[in-house]
């Protein structure tokens, strides 16, 4: 079997696995609720995995997405601390931008600016490791607030007006203790506003690993307001200026159980909304990850459930040599099913693609 035939075989195998798993998850969740409203999040590179795990990601091991929930986890955990540099590419986002230019970009932007932005959409993240430091950059992530999402598949309305960039720095104080901070540049266009505005905000975190199987995280997160909500309010359930706790446990390398207690403390809020979040991930042969999750919505006094899959663990071929303790799945799908205040049923879908070089 030559290399081309082998590659075709792998692609066909992955396609079948993805289709079957996605169908299974869709049937499972839709049968659990009524089919009323579907919203789609298609140009965010990082959110599908956290959503599938019920948002329990404050104590997660991940190269990029973990930094959005706790900067002390940015870059992932590795026993090998030799210098390293990685790029993360998302071919899906620029393809959508080219096919939907009028809705993807602000109409006031010039063609040259649109061209540069489209090229920049391909590069979604960078990680740099040197000694005790891990530096990560996240570029052009789509805001996740459900009020910005579309009811049509693959539609991207107002992406350019509501997106953010994050630069995170993590320092290992010891083998099992890390601290981190991040600075985010957020672009916001509030309802009825004529132009988008921008804001710079900072977040902080600390992570403690009592053993290789347990990780504890504490983070202080800030998110810009957008009208009556913010860019990551729901389904991510991030409250600005809040302290969040997280715990993850790996009983075996392929299994992770995670728990978050959100909004333990809020600054400037008249009411503290403490919410529990749970997640479970089980990996199969570094080709497929199955995920389940749930969280409790205090405003509705009921739970939301989530599920998802991951395909192709890019850390697997060199995990033993590099001693990586986390997985990086190239393709991720997540779905959140919930009942709204009005009694309707809503499903939020997220599909993310991120290849590493």
Structure tokens at 8: 């075709």
Closest CA to 264 of 311, 199, 217: 217
pLDDT value of position 306:
96
Contact 58, 260 (CB under 8 A): yes
Q: Which helix (H) or strand (E) holds 102?
A: helix 101-104
pTM of the model: 0.83
Tens of pLDDT, residues 312-339: 888 765 554 444 567 888 899 999 999 8
Tens of pLDDT, residues 246-305: 999 999 888 999 999 988 776 655 456 789 999 999 988 788 999 999 999 887 788 999
Tally helices (H) and strands (E) across the chain.
Answer: 7, 18
Contact 71, 57 (CB under 8 A): no
pLDDT bin (cut points 50, 70, 90) of residue 163 is confident
The CA distance from 103 to 109, in Å, is 12
Closest CA to 49 of 60, 33, 40, 34: 60
Mode of pairing for the β-strands spanning 37-41 and 84-89: unpaired
Name the 3-class secondary structure at 239.
coil
Tens of pLDDT, residues 70-90: 999 987 766 566 778 889 998
């Amino acid at each position: 079997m030559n290399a081309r035939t082998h590659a075709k075989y792998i692609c066909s195998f992955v396609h079948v696995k993805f289709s079957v798993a996605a169908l299974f998850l869709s049937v499972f969740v839709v049968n659990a609720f009524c089919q009323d409203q579907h919203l789609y999040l298609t140009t965010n590179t990082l959110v599908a995995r956290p959503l599938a795990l019920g948002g329990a990601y404050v104590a997660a091991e991940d190269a990029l997405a973990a930094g959005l929930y706790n900067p002390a986890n940015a870059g992932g955990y590795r026993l090998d601390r030799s210098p390293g540099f990685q790029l993360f590419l998302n071919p899906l986002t620029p393809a959508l931008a080219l096919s939907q230019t009028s809705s993807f970009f602000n109409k006031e932007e010039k063609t040259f600016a649109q061209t540069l932005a489209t090229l920049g959409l391909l590069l979604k993240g960078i990680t740099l490791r040197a000694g005790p430091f891990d530096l990560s950059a996240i570029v052009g992530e789509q805001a996740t607030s459900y009020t910005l999402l579309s009811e049509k598949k693959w539609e991207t309305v107002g992406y350019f007006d509501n997106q953010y960039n994050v630069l995170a720095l993590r320092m290992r104080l010891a083998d099992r203790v890390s601290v981190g901070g991040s600075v985010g540049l957020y672009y916001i266009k509030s309802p009825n506003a004529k132009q988008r505005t921008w804001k710079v905000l900072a977040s902080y975190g600390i992570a403690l690993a009592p053993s290789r199987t347990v990780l504890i995280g504490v983070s202080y997160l800030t998110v810009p307001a957008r009208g009556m909500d913010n860019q990551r309010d729901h389904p991510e359930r991030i409250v600005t200026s809040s302290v969040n706790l997280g715990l993850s446990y790996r009983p075996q390398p392929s299994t992770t159980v995670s728990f978050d207690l959100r909004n333990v403390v809020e600054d400037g809020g008249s009411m503290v909304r403490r919410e529990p979040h749970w997640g479970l991930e089980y990996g199969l042969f570094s080709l497929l990850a199955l995920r389940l999750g749930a969280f409790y919505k205090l405003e509705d006094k009921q739970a939301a459930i989530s599920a998802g899959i991951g395909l192709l663990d890019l850390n697997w071929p060199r995990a033993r040599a590099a001693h990586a303790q986390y997985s990086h799945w190239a393709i991720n799908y997540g779905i959140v099913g919930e009942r709204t205040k009005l009694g309707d049923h809503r499903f939020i879908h997220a599909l993310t693609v991120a290849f590493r070089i």
